[in-house]
Amino acid sequence: MPSKEVVVDRFKCAYCGACVSVCKNNANELVETFLVINRELCNCCGLCVKVCPMNALRIEEV
């Protein structure tokens, strides 16, 4: 069974922090000018994808 992960389009991401504020597992973090997603903490609930104003996040099968 394929697993899923949240993927960031770095060209679209405005580093606004909306995804960080809704993540219940603290998997998203803004580090300098990059959004970093901790794959071990992320459960791919999709909240960050829904709140991203730039549509920079998506869930993909890996």
User: 4 and 59 in contact (C-beta within 8 Å)?
Assistant: yes
- Name the residue with tokens 């901790």: 38
Domain extent at residue 33:
4-61
pLDDT confidence of residue 33: 87
Q: In the chain, which residues have pLDDT < 50?
A: none
pLDDT confidence of residue 42: 97
Write the CATH number for 48: 3.30.70.20
pLDDT confidence of residue 39: 95
User: 19 and 48 in contact (C-beta within 8 Å)?
Assistant: yes
pLDDT confidence of residue 2: 78
Domains: count for the chain: 1
Q: Which helix (H) or strand (E) holds 31?
A: strand 28-31
User: 60 and 2 in contact (C-beta within 8 Å)?
Assistant: no
